[in-house]
Structure 1
Amino acid sequence: MTDDSRKRSTSPEMVSFADRLAASQKFQALFQEGMGLVEETATYLDGEGRSQSKRLPRPASLAYATESMRLTTRLMQLASWLLLQRAVNEGEMTVEQAGSEKNKVRLDKLSSATGGSAWNDLPEHLQDLIHRSIRLQERIRHLDAMLYPKPDDTAEAVENTMENPVASQLNQLYAAFGRAG
């Protein structure tokens, strides 16, 4: 993979911190966390969670079914995004290809009802998995916004860099001397 295939910045002098992050050990840790959460959730829902759900009162049982579907949907979307980004990092896809495929992945509108009496009756392990998946979703959405900015966001980022001479100078230093951090 060449450096050119990873560039997403708006000018040749600028170094995208998001690109560096996406190709870093921190991304690998995020990837492992995400895939680990998928595996842990599947194990829970197929085992302990299934037996716990059978013992729940009717309203909590309905909430369990709803929230477990939301959780698995959220995790499948997050896993899809992580796999796309890993494919870009490994040179299997271009940024443009991933951007096109990424449009099929829904990182927003994957909410959960984390309150109310039915929520309080859900098993703690399920609640924990849901909270962790929501935190992971927030982190991935943030990274996604940096990696694949909307056209309006790109113009705003360039404008902000132009207004911030320190950021401009830092970008030039990183471009001249290589990797950040």
Structure 2
Amino acid sequence: MFQTSRPDACLTTKLIDSLYCEALVLADEARSAFEETDITLSPRETLALSCESLKVTTRLMQVIAWLLNQKAYRAGELTLDELHTEERSLGYAVASDEELVALLRAGPAYLARQSEDLYYRVHRMAARLKGTYREQQPVHDLHDRLERAF
């Protein structure tokens, strides 16, 4: 396996920009798709639409915030230690409920699935970067062991 001194070497500027663009496009599509109101929706369908709208928005905002932090680091606005603080980590986002997604029209259902796919791709990258960063910081290993002990 290729070793590098930079824990973020696998996350190129081109990849960050591509993911950022994808997230912005999905956010714009979601805004349009979830704004459309259909007076023929049942109360259960209306609830499903509201829940999934919130989940999609949360997922996309978490991804966008994380990518903006990555951009700030590459622009020299954050140090590596600042980048890897808990406040700048990828936030938690609730998964969609497939039963509720099945009740949605094609557009919102597609966006729910696409936002989940994007979130999980970024989540895997964030976990990999965090793991690589922590390997290079022995103090984090000590902190983790102390946390588990108490």
Shorter-chain TM-score: what band?
Answer: 0.7 to 0.9
The answer to whether structure 1 residue 51 and structure 2 residue 37 are counterparts is: yes
Identical positions, percent: 25
Shift of 1:69: 1.1
Change (3 A) 1:21 1:28: farther
Structure 1 residue 154, shift from structure 2 partner: 2.7
Secondary structure in structure 1 of the residue aligned to 2:97: coil
Of 90, 97, 102, the match for 1:113: 97
Give the letter for the 2:34 counterpart. Answer: L
- Give the match for residue 65 of structure 1: 50
> Superposition pairs for residues 4-23 of structure 1, below 5 Å?
14-15=3-4, 19-23=8-12
**1:177: which partner in 2?**
none
Shift of 1:16: 5.6
Asked whether 1:34 is paired with 2:23, we answer: yes
Counterpart-to-counterpart distance in 1, 2:84 and 2:118: 20
**What's 2:135 paired with?**
154
**Runs of at least 5 residues in structure 2 that lack an aligned partner in the other structure:** 137-150
State yes or no: 1:76 paired with 2:61: yes
2:109 is the counterpart of 1:123: no
1:102 aligns with 2:84: no
Of structures 1 and 2, the one with the larger relative CO (CA 8 A, separation 6+) is: 1
Q: Of the two, which has the highest radius of gyration?
A: 1
Unmatched runs of 5 consecutive residues or more in structure 1:
1-12, 156-181
TM-score by length of 2: 0.76
Post-superposition offset of 1:23: 2.6
**Secondary structure of 1:15's aligned partner:** coil
Alpha-carbon spacing, 1:92–1:85, altered in 2? closer, same or farther (3 Å):
same
SS for the counterpart of 1:31 is helix
- For the aligned residue pairs, the C-alpha RMSD in angstroms reads 2.5
Partner of 1:140: 122
Moved over 2 A (4+): 43-46, 118-121
CA distance in 2, matches of 1:27, 1:83: 9
Q: Is the Cα contact below 8 Å between 1:71 and 1:133 reproduced in 2?
A: yes
TM-score, length of structure 1 as denominator length: 0.64
Following superposition, the deviation at residue 119 of structure 1 comes to: 3.1
How many correspondences in the alignment?
134
Q: 1:42 to 1:109 in 2, by over 3 A?
A: closer
Q: Check the 8 A contact 2:52/2:101 in 1, yes or no.
A: no
Q: Deviations over 1:19-72 (max 9, x none)?
A: 2232332222112111221222123223xxx323x3211111111111111111
Distance 1:111 1:150, change over 3 A: farther
Change over 3 Å in CA distance of 1:18–1:35 after alignment to 2: farther
